[in-house]
Amino acid sequence: MNAASPTAETRAIEVAFGARAAGELHGSGTVGLALPLPALGEISRERLFGAARPAGESHGVRLFASEDFLVGWTTEPIGACPRLSAEKLYRRVIAAAGTHRLCRIWNYVPGINAAERGLETYRAFSAGRSAAFEEAYGPDFARRLPAASGVGCSGGVLSAVFAASDREPRHFENPEQVPAYRYPPEHGPKPPSFARATVVAGARRTWAFISGTAAIKGHVSVAAGDFGAQLRCTLDNLRLISGAAGLGSSLELPGGAERHFKVYVRRAGDFARARAELERGLLRPGDRVIWLQAELCRAELEIEIEATLIGAR
């Protein structure tokens, strides 16, 4: 990886939803990834990292340096063997992060609930991802796993966006959920590789990444077929992980300047109801919220919510 050259332009990193296929974003002053998930609300672009400088290329991943993170993204055709595709993608992500510590990974998985030779794509993806982490970090790899989300998309390309820090992040778990990396084998041959939340100090601000959160208690899905009950369980899990990560019970960093949310609903028809209920409860004026329609990693899950909170140091 090259040091950013002083003449390099600063660009905003964006993830643009509603694209026809996964691919590089081209715009003036902007770099990033376009993704094939429908946006349901007014906002279709996520901008977490405002001013970034090109930071070279590593293992086929173009890298950018924002004030606080090394940020990169990469894609891999899902192909006939999602497990191998995920392993290849993750080898590149881990190698490109290099000595930086992974803090957050966003995964977009085509046909996430489809079964390929009897194994659901998400479970195959989890197995490949786990193998890559174990290969890179050794048998203790779970201690280093960052916050993440893993949701469906259309098309045939697996995508990952990551943020990594040169400072040591802290990872947190929800006391009422089994850590995903310890889910029992009934959920797939290798458990999902992520922490429920990651907090890291930047140069001037502190970042809290809350993973995709859904209606799961212990390791079991709750309230299959009941959207309202899943929403309430998801909010309860958000409250619990917020407390565990030291953010109070309402997703708040001291001097909290910015709150970014993504809300994924499996059925577009549930959008209006989700928005009405979340605007009464979780959300506040000034929050930046992206509403997306996506298949979720377990066929029975109907809603998932993630958050990125940025506060004073």
Q: Which residues are near ligand 3EB by CB under 6 A?
A: 107, 148-150, 180, 192, 194, 211-212, 214, 216, 297
Q: How far is CA 24 from CA 128, 266, 291, in A?
A: 24, 25, 21
Q: How far is the CB of 1 from ligand 3EB (least distance, A)?
A: 25
Kindly tell me which of 12 and 147 has the beta carbon lying closer to ligand 3EB: 147
Count of Cβ atoms closer than 10 Å to residue 161 Cβ: 22
Kindly tell me which of 65 and 233 has the beta carbon lying closer to ligand 3EB: 233
Give the span between the Cα atoms of 51 and 274, in whole angstroms.
32
Asked whether 223 and 233 are in contact (CB, 8 A), the reply is: yes
Q: How far is the CB of 255 from ligand 3EB (least distance, A)?
A: 27
Kindly tell me which of 96 and 214 has the beta carbon lying closer to ligand 3EB: 214
Kindly tell me which of 1 and 73 has the beta carbon lying closer to ligand 3EB: 73
- Rounded to the nearest 10 degrees, the angle between the axes of helix 82-97 and helix 121-137 is 40
Q: How far is the CB of 82 from ligand 3EB (least distance, A)?
A: 13
Kindly tell me which of 71 and 307 has the beta carbon lying closer to ligand 3EB: 307
Asked whether 89 and 38 are in contact (CB, 8 A), the reply is: no
Kindly tell me which of 72 and 212 has the beta carbon lying closer to ligand 3EB: 212
Q: How far is CA 283 from CA 161, 233, 268, 274, in A?
A: 25, 16, 20, 11
Kindly tell me which of 53 and 88 has the beta carbon lying closer to ligand 3EB: 88
Q: Are strands 61-65 and 70-77 parallel, antiparallel or unpaired?
A: antiparallel
Q: How far is CA 26 from CA 15, 23, 32, 88, 218, in A?
A: 11, 9, 8, 25, 43
Give the span between the Cα atoms of 45 and 230, in whole angstroms.
26
Runs of H (alpha helix) within 183-247: 227-244
Q: How far is the CB of 107 from ligand 3EB (least distance, A)?
A: 5
Give the span between the Cα atoms of 39 and 290, in whole angstroms.
7
Give the span between the Cα atoms of 238 and 252, in whole angstroms.
11
Encoded tokens for 248: 């109070």
Kindly tell me which of 1 and 212 has the beta carbon lying closer to ligand 3EB: 212
